[in-house]
Every structure is written in C-alpha cells, then in structure tokens.
Amino acid sequence: MTTETSHPSVAAVRSTEEQYVEVIGLLEEQNSPVGTAPIAENMQLAMPSVSEMLKRLADKGLVTHAPYEGASLSEKGRMLFANVIRRHRLWEVFLTQHLGMSWHNVYEHACRLEHGTLEPVTARLGSFLGNPEYCPHGSPIPGADGTWPPSQGQPLLEMPIGSEYQIVRILQENDADCLTFLFERDVMIGTVVRLMDIASYDGTVSLDVSGKPVAMGTRVASRLRVTPIVEMRGNASGEST
Amino acid sequence: MTTETSHPSVAAVRSTEEQYVEVIGLLEEQNSPVGTAPIAENMQLAMPSVSEMLKRLADKGLVTHAPYEGASLSEKGRMLFANVIRRHRLWEVFLTQHLGMSWHNVYEHACRLEHGTLEPVTARLGSFLGNPEYCPHGSPIPGADGTWPPSQGQPLLEMPIGSEYQIVRILQENDADCLTFLFERDVMIGTVVRLMDIASYDGTVSLDVSGKPVAMGTRVASRLRVTPIVEMRGNASGEST
DNA sequence: TCAAGAAATTAGGCATTCCTAAATCTCATG
DNA sequence: CATGAGATTTAGGAATGCCTAATTTCTTGA
C-alpha cells in the first residue's frame, strides 16, 4: 500500500489476467483450491496454457500456487476478483433491466464489457443502477469497497419434498447451455416451483412450475437456490410470468 | 457476401485491428491517404509497429497500402470503421447522458467499451438511447446500416468576424488536452460565442463567451464547427451553462 | 505395495504485437 | 541533378499467451 494502485481495474492488470482471476474465484466458491483442469475446461483452454499462466499469476501475487496442488486467490487476487465481479454483474443488471436482454445470455456480453470498464465508469454505473446487491442470476454484487452482500437461498435439493419454493439464485451463470435449458422451461429467478420428487434411482428431480411438470437431472437441479414459500390455501402465489 | 460475416464486430476482427481502423478512419477525414507517422503519433506507438500492422491490415483487406504512400481504408475497412465509430459514439452518449460524465473525458472510456460490444448490445444500446445521430462532441453516429448523418456546422475560422455562432461540433475528440482546454473555458457544444478577432500576426483567435473573453490559437480554433445565430436585439440568447 | 490411470508440468513452437537500430526511399532545394 | 532531411521500411528481438507432444507426479485399487 505504498505507491501501489488503489483500484485493481486501473493498473497493470491485463485483461487476460482478470479473466483467469474471475474464473478461479468463481470455481473456488465450489471447492478450493482449484485444479488446473477445471480452469482449463471452464476457459476452453489446453491445460498447459493454464499451468503456465498460474505460474505467472503467482509471480504477480494474484494467486498462491504450489505445483500439483491447485491454485487459490491471494488477498490481492480476492480484491481484484471482487472488483471484476462487481463490474461484471453491474453490466448484467444494465443489460437486462435497461437494454431488455434476457438473463440467460447476458453473461457473455458482460464478460466482454467488464474488462474495458475503469473505476469512474463502474462507480457511476453502480449509482445509475441504484447500487443493486444481486445480479439477474441472484448472485451477490460486491460493493465498491469489496464487501459482499449475503448469499441468498438454500439448495433446492436439501429442501423437503412437496413444498413450494421461490427460486432466488441460479449458480454457474457462465454455463449458457444450462441457463437456456432452464429458461426454456420457465425456470428463473422469482419462479415459484413445487418440489415433487427426487428419484432415488438416478436422482432425477421433478418440479411443478405453475401447473406444468418439469424434470431435470441433479447436475442442473443442484444449482438452484430457493427460499421457502409460506403455503396459503386458495392462493398459489402470483409471480409466474 | 457468401459465407462471410454480416457484422464486422462479431467475426475474426481483432480488437487491435479495430483500433487501427478507427484511428485511420478518423485521420482520413482530415487528409487521405494517411501516413505512418500520424497514426503512430495518434496511437502512441513507434513507427515500425504501425508500418508492420499496415501490412497486416492490407493482407486482411481492411486497408489499401502501397509502401511509402500511406494507407486508406478499403470498402471493407470503411464498413468496419462505421461500425466501430457507431459503438464508440453510442457509448459516449450513454456515458454523458445517463452516467453524468463530462463530454471532455468520455472518449477514452468509450474506446475501451467499444471493443467488447457485440451487435446485439449495440443494437439495443442504440434503441435505449433513442438512436441519436450525434455524439457529445457533435460528430455524426453512423446508423446500424452504416449510413452517416450529415456533418454539422461550418469552420468557425471561415465565418465573418463580429457575429455570434453556436458551437455544434468539436473535431479531434480524442485529443483530451484540447477538450480540457476548451472545457475549462466553457467552450462546448451549444455554447454561443462571438468571434471578436483573428489576429493577422499569428492567427490568435479571440472569442467572447457570454461576456468573458477567451483566446486560443488557430490549431484549437480550427477544430470548432458552428452555425450562425440570428442576432436578436435585447436578447443575447440563453444557453451558457 | 505397486502399477495403471488421471492430473499436472515441462519442452518446444507459433502468432500477435510491440520495440530499437539500421537501412532505404522520397522529395524539395541548392 | 545531387544531396540531405524526414518519412518509412527492414532486421532482429522480446513479451504475452496460446498450442501439441512428452514427461513427471499423484492417487487409487488390485
């Protein structure tokens, strides 16, 4: 903190590095440290490319990385991560709320915009949007100071069968195919679903989405985060469209 | 037009190439073809870097370039140019009108955003902004089809002395120092100025900006484009702030 | 315990895009 | 028409960031 940069987005941080930090940070939310393979798969790169870059990120102090043991974001890396995610998710909010784009395909566009967004624009974009705390997929948006709003929702698969829940978050928002799958079945943030069954054989999950049956595998279902809905007789709640 | 891309922003056009095309296109508005030196100066690069890239842009069919004779955008290059400028200036409008940024420093930010903006976002951003025809510096914004609105204004220096004019365009909006110079003297789009004098000795231009005298050299003054104001007695017109 | 097999790294290359230094071309002018 | 200044290109090299192929390390089950 001597003559160092105060805003990670401004200084000598290459756009490629930001992308790596973003992916590593997101993967680390699932399990840490992150191996080379998941990063390579996520970024559609060959493993040696990732291996090499991890070394360079470690040199820059953005990650800690002992060979054969995966990578974790350093303190500096986590600060950059929060900043990148903030930019990313603010753009997602802009793209959906103001440009009318659909939540299931804004990830890629936000990804492209985030790396060209310097701090003055980030700050003003935040104000313009009303400093939202959650992105269109329900994930938290770090504040300008790097603090995270609480994560919302509990895993749908851990909830008792038979009750109704409102979807408040869909994880792994960078998996476009998964989001499209859900989008086409009207499963999105705010949707009220009733958990009908989790098949003991292969784990297939059956939902009722405002009267329509929807089935999905555990891989998809495990990404849904919900809050319980208080059951009211005679009114199945009114947030379907 | 066989299996080619229809939108230049999407396909195999590198962001670096877009920047070169943008600079070449802008410089070509002053005089064509454009030499290696002005490009290098504008992009803050060494001349061999430009020379080499011009060869590569020529290979890609974006410019025509015979050695020692400067470069001009090809048809394909002009299409890309219009598209890049469209994205650039739409972002400038967004940054000033919606994020409240000042017209004199949005160029750089728009420059960073433009290269990450794919067609769906460009189209929706255009609609969101009401498909404006002019950027905050008064330059025309090409439409989605690549057609340009007419250029506005006439050179201030070609106007008769003593009359009032409204500034409708400031050229070379990528020259931040020049824009700041003007900004600090309240000379901007919409400002009404009276042309007081053009010194025959060194060409220094004297203006009256709502009662305040403002002097500037020809290099700056030659970038101002104005429309005449019909003189009305007893009302010096009311657009100063 | 030990040998697949999976995961990760090293080795060696390539494309992009920049640089400095040196050579070359153009053009105005004496 | 020769020449020197200035513009431009060529030559040679470096950093980034990706690749394939080969090697090394880790893990796990027989």
- The tens digit of pLDDT for each residue in B51-85 reads 999 999 999 999 999 999 999 999 999 999 999 99
CB-CB contact of A181 with A220 (8 Å)? yes
Rounded distance, CA A109 to CA A96, Å? Answer: 11
Residue A19 CA, chain-centre distance (Å), reads 14
- Set of chain B residues whose Cβ sits within 8 Å of the Cβ of A95: 121, 124
Say whether pTM exceeds 0.75: yes
Interface contact B116-A113, CB threshold 8 A: yes
Cβ–Cβ gap A121/B100 under 8 Å? no
Instruction: Using a pLDDT cut of 90, give the percent of chain B over it.
Output: 85
The least confident of A111-120, B75-84, B200-209 is B200-209
How many angstroms is C1' of C5 away from CA of A112? Answer: 38
Phi-psi region of A101 (alpha: psi -120 to 50; beta: other; left: phi over 0): beta
Where residue B38 falls among pLDDT bands split at 50, 70, 90? very high
Interface test with B, best of A97, A104, A112 (most B CBs within 10 A): A112
- Chain A: which residues have CB within 8 Å of chain B? 95, 98-101, 109, 112-118, 120-121, 124-125, 127-128
pLDDT at B121: 98
- Residue B94, C-beta contacts closer than 8 angstroms, at least 6 positions apart: B125, B128, B129
A130 half-sphere exposure, CB direction, 13 A CA radius: 7
A70 CA from C10 C1′ (Å): 17
Which residues does chain B have within 8 Å of residue A99's beta carbon, measured at their own beta carbons? Answer: 121, 124-125, 127-128
Is the CB of A121 less than 8 angstroms away from the CB of B109? Answer: yes
A121: chain B residues, CB-CB within 8 Å: 95, 99, 101, 109, 113
Q: Is the pLDDT of residue B217 over 60?
A: yes
Coil, strand or helix at B138: coil
Q: What is the tens place of the pLDDT at every residue in A83-93?
A: 999 999 999 99
Q: Is the peptide bond before B33 cis (omega within 30 degrees of 0)?
A: yes
Largest CA distance in chain A: 64
Amino acid residing at A40: A
Which of B14, B19, B92, B99 best tests the A interface by mutation, with the highest count of A CBs <10 A?
B99
Q: Is B31 (CB) below 7 Å from strand D?
A: no
CB pair distance less than 8 Å for A101 and B113: no
**Any strand D atom closer than 7 Å to A68 CB:** yes
Task: Please provide residue B165's backbone torsions phi and psi, each rounded to the nearest 5 degrees.
Answer: -140, 150
C-beta atoms surrounding A2 within 10 Å: 3
Interatomic separation, CA of residue A29 and C1' of nucleotide D27, rounded (Å): 24
Q: Which tens digit of pLDDT belongs to each residue from B86-141?
A: 999 999 999 999 999 999 999 999 999 999 999 999 999 999 999 999 999 999 99
CB-nearest partner of A99 from B95, B100, B121 = B121
Cis upstream peptide for A140 (omega within 30°) = no
Name the residue among B112, B113, B128 with its Cβ closest to that of A98.
Answer: B128
Q: Give DSSP secondary structure letters for chain A.
A: --S--S-TTTSS--HHHHHHHHHHHHHHTTSSSBPHHHHHHHHT--HHHHHHHHHHHHHTTSEEE-TTS-EEE-HHHHHHHHHHHHHHHHHHHHHHHTT---GGGHHHHHHHHHTT--HHHHHHHHHHHT--SB-TTS-B---TTSPPPPPP-EEGGGSPTT-EEEEEEES-TT-HHHHHHHHHTT--TT-EEEEEEE-TTT--EEEEETTEEEEE-HHHHTTEEEEE----TT---S---
- Closest residue of B to A123, CA-based? B99
Which of B124, B127, B129 to probe by mutation at the A interface, max A CB count within 10 Å?
A: B124
